[in-house]
Amino acid sequence: MLKNKKKYLNFALLFEIMKTKLIKTIGVLTSGGDAPGMNAAIRAVVRTGLSFGLEVYGVYRGYNGLIENDMIKMESKSVGNIIQRGGTILKTARSKEFMTKEGRQSAYENLKARGIEGLVIIGGDGSFKGANIFSSEFNIPCIGIPGTIDKDMAGTDFTIGFDTAINTAVSAIDKIRDTADAHNRLFIVEVMGRDAGYIALYSGIATGAENILIPENKTNISRLIQDLSNKEKRQKAVNLIVVAEGDEYGGANNVAETLRASMLTTEIKVCILGHIQRGGSPSCLDRIIASRMGFHAVECLIFGFSNLMVGIVNNEMCFTPFEKAVKETQTISRDWFKLIKRLTR
């Protein structure tokens, strides 16, 4: 991990390096699942690159755009009025063809023809794995910006889209709680998180959920049933369970079936929030971190760095090699589980 790069990065040095014309043209793409704030990152990359005299190309539909030569030269006005928009103006996709050597060869030939000498990849671990292989094969410097609502990347406290996603989930769960209270029902709310439970963890704590089920913590279903039975006996009016889709019981519907079979008399309802969590205008935090990361991604390319993910740790910029970022994930501290245990009573 490269720490404290800012100690030797300054504008005077940047312009001195620019005089040597180490890099003239860069491309930016969004890959994998969309996340609110990706547009803010695109905007930052484009305008930072242009401010240093670079040509900047936008690549449509992720790695598919590289293979199919679907790119456009971008100007400052190309990214006007997009910082507040969800989704990504460059579109996104998961490319099976890029997983092949032939696909990557086509991508390289298209970049070479346009004179593109470096790439900024906005996406998650799968996108960075592809960038790492591509860079090693063809010596194209690639810098990654973590854009994923799951917050599951090592080397950064934040990923673009997470803050917006949890605020969307919190807003929805608060409304569900009103209905649960009115009807004395048990609601099981499923949020996104196939491999990581951060959305469930944060939104569950923030909404006062009585139980939170996440992939990182083994679910004791017997204890859960006993806990709900005790609450039923003392006529607790509202019960709310937030479960990540990747929980070992397979999400909200499977949990509901298990609880109904336990002879609980409380009416059980399931609500799956789904892709609503991916959309919407990005929060202030997501716009800020996307802008910071986009700016520093371009700096990295100008200074000749490659195969790094730009992150933020303790509010400082942090730079993690792709290999480390994709092999490791953020681990949930045991303190979180202690907090859940004490508050979900």
Residue found by looking up tokens 């579109």 in the block: 91
Q: Is 125 a catalytic residue?
A: no
Q: Return the number of other C-beta atoms located less than 10 Å from residue 199's C-beta.
A: 26
- At 62, the amino acid letter reads G
Q: Name the residue with tokens 């005089």.
A: 19
* Active-site residue identified among 34, 125, 150, 286: 150
Q: In 52-97, where does DSSP find H-type helix?
A: 63-67
Comparing C-alpha atoms, which of 229, 272, 228 is closest to residue 250? 272
How far CA 44 is from CA of 33, 146, 251, in Å, comes to: 20, 14, 37
Map residue 252 onto helix, strand or coil.
Answer: helix
What value, to the nearest 5°, has the Cα angle with vertex 157 and ends 200 and 339? 45
| Interacting residues of 21 by C-beta distance below 8 A, sequence separation 6+ | none
SS3 content of the chain, % helix, strand, coil (to 5): 45, 20, 35
Collapsing DSSP states into helix, strand and coil, what is residue 147? strand
Question: How buried is residue 230: exposed, middle or buried, by Cβ count under 10 Å (0-12/13-18/19+)?
Answer: exposed
The catalytic residue positions are 150
